[in-house]
Amino acid sequence: MKTNIIKPISDSFNYLYKELPNGLKALIISDPAADKSAASLSVNVGSLVDPKEYQGLAHFCEHMLFMGTEKYPDENEYNQFLTENGGESNANTSDDITSYYFEVSNEAFDKALDKFAQFFVKPLFKIDAVQRELKAVDSEHKKNLLNDEWRFYQLTLSEAKSDSVFNSFSTGNVETLDKTGVRDALLQLYNKYYSSEIMTLCILSNESIEKLDGLVSDLFAGVPKRENFVHPKYDQVPAYDSSNLKMFYKIFPIKDTDELRFVWYLKSESPYYKEIPLSFLTYLFGHEGPNTLTSSLIKDDLISTLTTSKETCANAFSFFTIEIILTKKGLKEYKTVIYRVMKYIQMIQEQKLNERFSKELIEIKQIAFDYRSKKAPYEYVEELSKSMQRYPPEDILRGSNVIIKYDPVILKEYFDALKLENLNVYFLSKSLEKDCTIKEKWFGTLYTKQPLLEIINENEIKTHQCSHPLDYP
């Protein structure tokens, strides 16, 4: 299938995009200078398809696929082969995508890819491997217990609406998985959702496009396409709405940190991948130049750093985050920080969009794309197999890295959505231990919550005074 894949100016690779008869989509990359070969396959399902009675089942399935196949039944053969040939492998399960990937020496790539393909053709899900992998999943969970980012993520899941699919325990442990019937549930999940039509494969090697094309067709044509497959929907019940927004959380963290996180839960950015409006927000509110929010807060010794981020969850909703590390003064005067953030946002919302600033970001992102650094094969194929799930073939490489279309109407809509009604504020500090009387079920995180307007006053936002000028950078 010929597709005009849009490449960076500096990209010398050869690309071929094709779709196999079973619906599996493949991106084949030839780099004659590659020192190693790599492959990644992404399946467009993840933890959101977990049955309520088997939380973490999709993650457990990810583990079990490594435990032998009909063609290669020895469960250690795949990893041992990679190790012997200078390679490695990994996998990860997100809310709606599960990815498997490996790299290996160029000489061993054909055989490694054959072993890899069998995960999706005929895995065994050995009965005698179930208990071992359950312990591995549980061990992974126990390691995450001391990670504040995992704890925060799980808290946001546990606080999602109870009838939303996002109210879940995504990784699982022995409590949720070590039950009678777990292997049958595992087989049911695999046979229902691991369908070729929602799989995307990316491979990179030093061989010619023609040879790699033949290899993909031979090895992945046997991946089954499930009859009457219906992709699950995740947006039927919102994760966050008026019942659990406009809240203020106090959280007792593991590490010694004092921080505020402002998280706005917004409509999905996915339909606007060409405009990527949230990129403008991350760039504007994360800017450190004169007259910016960051410079103002630092001048008053209220914060040490301010960072911004965005993410889209299973095409159901997106969120925009401002994360602030407080100084000792900022810890005492955290309400001033909240008022300053909200005042700056209101000020920006009341102004006309700064077209010069927007065009600057467009140019910066285009230059960064055109002259990006070469990534390791291992990282590159994983990134692209996921990108293939989100973008049409011609935009797989640039994805959300380039602003293809500037649309001030859409941009203004997202700017205006940064209001209290869509916001939760999270205050993390060890000084809050006595206030935190609720324990999150899966990670044991101590926290408490109350309506945001019990902490701040909307009139105070309007009247908040700052001794420094605030404006677009």
Residues recognised as catalytic: 62
Please give the structure tokens belonging to residue 161: 């609406």
Query: Which residue has tokens 């000020």?
Result: 347
Residues 6+ apart with CB under 8 A from 128: none
Reported residue count of the chain is: 473
E strand or H helix at 328, and its extent? helix 328-332
Helix (H, G, I), strand (E, B) or coil at 404: coil
E strand or H helix at 204, and its extent? strand 199-205
Residues 6+ apart with CB under 8 A from 374: none
Count of C-beta atoms within a 10 Å radius of residue 270? 16
Check: CB of residue 201 under 8 Å from CB of residue 41: yes
What long-range pairs does 446-449 form, CB within 8 A, spacing at least 24? 446/251, 446/252, 447/155, 447/249, 447/250, 447/251, 447/252, 448/249, 448/250, 449/159, 449/247, 449/248, 449/249, 449/250
Tell me the C-alpha distance between 32 and 205, whole Å: 7
Tell me the C-alpha distance between 461 and 454, whole Å: 14
Pinpoint the alpha helices (H) of 148-276: 148-158, 174-177, 182-193, 209-220
**What's the CA dihedral at 66, 67, 73, 74 to 10 degrees?**
100
